[in-house]
Amino acid sequence: MKKLQTVLVLLSMISVGTYAQGISGGAKLGLNLADQTYSGSGSYSSPGIRPDFHVGGYLTLMFTEHMGLQPEVLYSGQGAKSGSSKLKLNYITVPILFRFNVNKVLSFHAGPQFGVLASAKLKNGSNSVDYKDNYKSSDVGIAIGTTVDLPMKLNFTFRIIKGLSDINNVDNSSVKIRNFNIQLSVGYKLFGK
């Protein structure tokens, strides 16, 4: 909670300081291609991609014509799939991204992403088991991507998010589990330039 409060205070201070440079914001939604990596005892594996969605909002806070920050708040469906089993992890994620505008159309972004686990279920056919206790309540990752901004307030984003945290919460387990996600988003600018 203290980390979230610190982030919100920092974003408030930045937004006041950058108001003259330009603030814009909007809504976005898109496809997640989520997976996980398992490592331990010298082995490494990945079960398989599970498609899901993400939805939320973003702000663009520009310091100069080319450099700024882009914080977001997203509801993000993640997890993995192995055969008929699906692991559904739902997070509230907060990416805080450094943004570099190449020009008015193309930009690149990178930075940390913080996630809070909202729910976790293991589904096998019609059976569903609550799995939230098996996973840590928070996740930290690194995000990198690119955005294309079109004149009609639409934007398209491609992003890769690699989990840095071991999210395994099972006692006496030597296996480290990390999230991995590819996002394809469509956004609509609601205000600002």
> Model's pTM, two decimal places?
0.86
Span 49-65, mean pLDDT?
96
Instruction: Tell me the HSE value of 185 on the side-chain side, using a 13 A CA sphere.
Output: 30
**d(Cα 129, Cα 181) in Å, to the nearest integer?**
23
Name residue, tokens 């708040």. Answer: 73
Name residue, tokens 């909007």. Answer: 26
pLDDT on residue 6? 63
Q: Are 95 and 56 in contact (CB under 8 A)?
A: no
Tokens matching residue 40? 């331990």
CA torsion, ordered 27, 105, 95, 88, to nearest 10 deg: 60
Which amino acid is present at 94?
V
Whether 19 has a pLDDT exceeding 60, the answer reads no
Class of the domain covering 2-191: mainly beta
Whether 131 has a pLDDT exceeding 50, the answer reads yes
Express each pLDDT in 108-122 by its tens digit: 999 999 999 999 999
CB-CB neighbours of 187 under 10 Å? 22
| Residue 18's pLDDT band (cuts 50, 70, 90) | very low
